[in-house]
Structure 1
Amino acid sequence: MRLLLFHHIVLSGYIFSEATKKFPDNFKFGVATSSYQIEGAWDKDGKSPSIWDHLTHTRPWHIEDGRNGDIACDSYYKYKEDVRMLKELGVDFYRFSIAWTRILPSGFINTINWDGVKYYNNLIDELLKNNIEPMVTLYHWDLPQTLQELGGWTNPIMEEYFAEYARLCFKLFGDKVKLWTTINEPRLVCLMGYGINVMAPAYNNTGIGDYLCGHTLLKAHARAYHIYDDEFRKDQKGKIFIVLEFQWLIPKTNSTADINVTETARHFMFGWFANPIYLGNYPKVMIDLVAERSAKQGFPKSRLPKFTEKEIDYIKGTTDFLGLNTYTSFLTNSEEFYDYKMVGFENDIGFQISHDPAWEATAQPQFKIVPWGTRQMLKWIKETYDSPEIFFTENGMADNGTSLDDQLRIKFYREQLKAVLDSMHKDDVKVSGYTAWSLMDNFEWVSGYNLKFGLYHVDFTSPNRTRTPKSSVAYMRKLFKTHCPIEECE
C-alpha cells in the first residue's frame, strides 16, 4: 500500500504541514548510490569494461590513492545486506543506477547479458519486498568502453545507442520501476570528462569536446524521455526526469562586474542543460558569449553547436520534474586579465571561483557547508524556470572516515534540511523529495577511497566489506520517521 501511495502522492500537489519545522507527510526521503561506485564484480557474469574500468586500470595514477572499483563495496554479491541497511534507515526509496556494461556488454543492443538483467531484477524485487521504492538512473557515468572508442558522448550517434539501451531497460524493468532518471549530472560528464581531464574518459578538450558532449547528451536524454512517454508511460504509469548538478554561485563583491559574471556563470553551469529542457535552447548569454569568443579566436562558427528548431521543440519539456544534486556554494568574481586566445569553458565565462574562509570546512576542500546558499539557489531556480517541481536526488558531505561519530555530517544534513524547509514555506519553492548521498562509503571517483560520504562505514580492508552504521544513521532514521530535522518538533 505504501508504494502505491508513493506513486500518487510524491508527484501530485503539495500538502504543507502547518508546523513549518516539519516536512509534509507526503514528502519522501531516500538515499543514493551508483553502480560503479559500489557494485564491484567488474568482469563477472558477462559484464564488460566501462570507461572507469579502463581509466583506473590503464592510468591508476589518475586516482588519488591508485585504487579502483573492481570490488568496491561488493554490492553485486551483498545487495541483500544493502537492502537490510535501507530497511533499517526507514527510507521511502532507494536511488541506484544500472551499469550499461552489465546489461549490454558490447554497448549495443545486439547482445543482452541475462545474468546482468537477473542481478537488477533481484535487487528491485528485494527492494519491493521490503516496501522500498526503486528510483533507477540509466546513466551514472560508466559508459561502455566500446562506445568510448567511437568517440563517446562527442559522437552524435550516441543518441541512438542510448535510446536503444533506455528502451530495453524500460521493457525489462518498467513493470516494477516507476521512477526513472535518464542522465546523472551531464555538465560534469562533459566538462570533467571531455573538457578538463578529470573524470573518465579524461580528455582535455575544453571549449569544444565538452560542448559537443553536452549537445549529444541533451538529445539522448530527450530521446529516452519521448520513448518512455510514447511507448511505456500509459501502461507502466511512471515518471522520468533528468538529474542536474548545481553548486550555488555568489558574487564575491558588490561590484557590477562580479554581479554580472556570477549571473552569467549560473547560466553556463546550470542553464547549459536546464534552459533547453525548461525554456528551449541554450541560454542566450551562453550562445552570444561563445559565438563572440569563437569569432575572435578565428573559428569559422561558434564552438557551441546549434540546435535546429525541430530539436529545440523536441527537447523542451522533457522532464517530469527537476532532479537536483547540490553540495556547496562558491564565491564568483570577474577575471581581471582575460585572454581571448585561450579556448575553454571557463574562459568563455571569464570568471574565477573561491570560498569565503569563514565558511565551515569539510574533508573535501572545495566543499564548504553553506546552507543559506542552498536556499538562495532554490529561489533562483524557482524564479528562472517558472517554479518547477524539484526533487533533491543527491545531497551530502564527505569526511575522512576516521570516526564513526560523524557529528559534522549530522550538522550538515540538519542545516541543509532547515534551508530546504525555509525555501518551501517562506519562498514557496516546490520540493517533493530529498535524497542523501550516500548510503555507504564507496569509490569516490578520482578521490578513490580517501573521501567518505556514507551513512554506513565500509571496511575496504576486509574481504567481507563489513558495513557499520555511523552516528548519522540514527539521526537520519529519526528524520525519515518524523519528517523533522530538529529536536524541537517533538
Structure 2
Amino acid sequence: MASYLFLRVAVSFIFIVTYIFATDTSSFPKNFLLGTSSSAYQIEGAWNESDKGESIWDWWTHENPNFISDGSNGDVACDSFHKYKEDVKLLNDLKVDFYRFSISWSRILPTGYANVINQEGLNYYKNLIDELLANGIEPFVTLYHWDHPEIFERMGGWTNEMMVEWISDYARIVFKELSPKVKYFATLNEPNVLCEEGYETKIKAPGKNLGSPGVFLCMHNMLKAHAKIYHIYDEEFRKHRNGTIGIVLPCSGALPKYLNDTAAVDMHFQFKCGWIAHAIFSNTGDYPQIMKSHVAENSKLAGYPRSLLPELSSEWVQYIKGTSDFFGLNHYSTWLVETVPRTKEQEWYAYSGVKESRDPSWPKAASKWLNVVPSGFREIINKIAREYDNPPIYILENGFSDRCCTFDYLRISYLHSYIKAMLLAIYEDGCNVQAYSVWSLLDNFEWSAGYTERFGLIHVNFTDSNRKRTPKWSMDWYKDVIATRKLNFTWELPTIIHI
C-alpha cells in the first residue's frame, strides 16, 4: 500500500510539473481576439452635421455644462467623423484583430423614428466598416452607448416602455444595412451605469434624478429592449449573416473587507453584475431572487404599495433568458465589501445590505473611481464563470486613466497586470475568455469628466483644430503584445504611484 501511494504521488507530481512547463500561461490562446474600443459621442464630433439629430448628450452638455468637469462637450471631440481614415491607419499599425465602436442612433435616424433614414449618416458607418475590413480589422458594432435621440427623452426616455419599440426599430435598420459586413454586435453598453447615473442621479445625461423608482424602471425597460433586439437579429438576420450578438455589462471586482465575509462578495455581485446578467445567463432567468426579496422588503418598509423592482412576467422571463451569445464584460476596478448588520423591520442598507469602500493602499488612477487591483479582475472573471456555466467572455473595456502625456508607463503597468490576471484566469482557472479590448484607442470625451481624464493609447491634442494624434508608449507596448501574441510575465516597470 505504501508503495502504491508513493507511486500515485510521484505520478501526480510529474503531471503537475509537466503541465507547468507544457502550458505557456504568458501566451494568448489560439484564435484569441485582441482589440481596442471607442464610442460614438466620445470621439465622432460633427454633432450637427450630415443631418444628424440631437442626442441626449448633445442636449445635456449644451444645457448643463456645469455638470461637466471642464465645461466641455463632444461637439468636436476627436473629430473622428472626419478623421476616421487616420484612425484606421493607427489601428492598422497596432494590428488589432477587431475595433469596437458604437453607432449614433440620431446620426442614422435624425428624428429618432424609423420613418426618416439619414443616408449620409449610414454612409459614414459603411465607409468606416469598409476601411476596417480593407485593413484586415473586424468591426465590432455596439448599437447603443448611452446616446439616444433627445426627442425620446422628452417622452420619458428609458422610463417609457415605448423605448423598447423605438430602439428595436432602429436596431432592425442597423442590421439590415450593416450586418452583411459585421460579424460582431453588442446591443446595449452598461445599462446600469446609464440608469444609475442618468436616471437615479444627475451625474450623466439625461440627468433625471428620479431616485430608486427611476433606476429600477430604467433597467427593466433596457433589459426588455436588449432581449427584443437579440431576437430580431436571431430570427431575421442570423441565418444569412452567421454573426454573433450579446450585451456588455460593467462588473467590478469585490474582495471581502473582513476575512471570510463571502456573503458580502456574493451579494455585491448579485446586485451589481447579476441585476441584468442573471436574467440572461442563469438557468432560471429573472432577476436574482435575493434582489427581488430585498427590494420588496425595503419598498414595503418605505411605504410603497408594491416593490420598486418591477416584476417580469413568466413570458418575459423566458423571452429574455439566453439572449446573448457571449458575456460582454467591461472591467476597470474593485471594491472592498462588507455586510452591514440589519435588525428586523429596518431597511436593508443600499438594498443589498453591502457597503463598498476602497483600500487606501490601492494605487489610484486619475479617475477617482479607479484603483489598480488586478486580483479583482481575476476574481470577477471566475465569479462569472461559476455563476453562469462558464460562458464565452469578451473583455470589451479595460483601461487606465491619467491626465496627460505620452510617457504613460503607469498605463502600461496597469494593462500588463490586468492582462496577466486574465491569462491566469484562463489557464489556471479554466475560464472561457475569448477576447480582450483596451479602452480606449484615443483620448476622448470622458462623460462628466470631460477632457480632464485620458484613457487613450493615442494622445489627442484637443486645443489643436486638427486634433493631432500622437501614439503613446502604451501603444507601442500593446503593439508588441499583439505582434508576439504573448505577455512577458517577468516584465516590470516602476511601481505604480498615486496620481
Normalising by the residue count of structure 2, what TM-score does the alignment of the two structures yield? 0.91
1:407 counterpart residue number: 409
Aligned mates of 1:488, 1:334 — CA distance in 2: 38
CA distance in 1, matches of 2:39, 2:439: 10
Q: How does 1:11-410 map to 2 (within 5 A)?
A: 18-254=23-259, 256=261, 259-279=262-282, 280-335=285-340, 347-401=350-404, 403-410=405-412
- 2:432 matched to 1:427? no
CA distance in 2, matches of 1:346, 1:176: 48
Q: Which residue is 1:470 aligned to?
A: 472
For the 8 Å contact 2:250–2:331, the answer to whether it is kept is yes
Deviation at residue 263 of structure 1 after TM alignment: 2.0
- Cα deviations by residue, 1:125-148 (Å, 9 ceiling, x for unpaired): 110111110000000010110111
Shift, 1:467, TM fit: 0.1
Tell me which stretches of 4 or more aligned residues in structure 1 moved more than 3 Å. 334-342
CA displacement 1:252-287 (0-9 Å, x = unmatched): 11375xx43332121010100000001200000100
Q: Do the aligned partners of 1:31 and 1:439 also contact (CA within 8 Å) in 2?
A: yes
Tell me the SS of whatever aligns to 1:175.
helix
1:119, 1:62 → 2: CA distance?
Answer: 30
CA deviations 1:104-157 (Å, max 9, x no partner) are: 011110100111001111101110111110000000010110111110011111
User: How far, CA to CA, are the matches of 2:346 and 2:155 in structure 1?
Assistant: 30
Gaps of 5+ in 1: 1-16
Please state whether the residue corresponding to 1:235 is helix, strand or coil. Answer: helix
SS in 2 for 1:182: strand
- 1:351 deviates by 3.0
Task: For 1:179 and 1:410, locate their aligned partners in 2 and report how far apart those are by CA, in whole Å.
Answer: 27
3-state SS in 2 of match to 1:347: coil
Measure the CA separation in 2 of the matches of 1:185 and 1:346: 24
Instruction: Give, as a single letter, the amino acid of the residue that structure 2 aligns with 1:481.
Output: A
C-alpha RMSD over aligned residues = 1.7
* Whole-Å separation in 2 of the counterparts to 1:77 and 1:214: 34
The answer for unaligned runs of 5 or more in structure 2 is 1-21, 492-499
> Per-residue displacement from partner, 1:329-351 (whole Å, max 9, x unpaired)?
01112346899888xx9721233
Contact 2:340 2:349 in 1 (8 A): no
Q: Deviations over 1:284-326 (max 9, x none)?
A: 0100000011111111111100011000000000000100000
Secondary structure of the residue aligned to 2:325 is coil
2:43 and 2:445 in contact (8 A); partners too = yes
Give the % identical residues. 46
Contact 2:26 2:489 in 1 (8 A): no
Deviation, structure 1 residue 203? 1.6
2:447 matched residue in structure 1: 445
Contact 2:252/2:331, CA 8 A, preserved across alignment: yes
Measure, in 2, the Cα distance between the counterparts of 1:461 and 1:242. 35
SS of 1:349's equivalent?
A: coil
Cα contact 1:83–1:126 (8 A) shared by 2: yes
* Secondary structure class of the residue paired with 1:73: coil
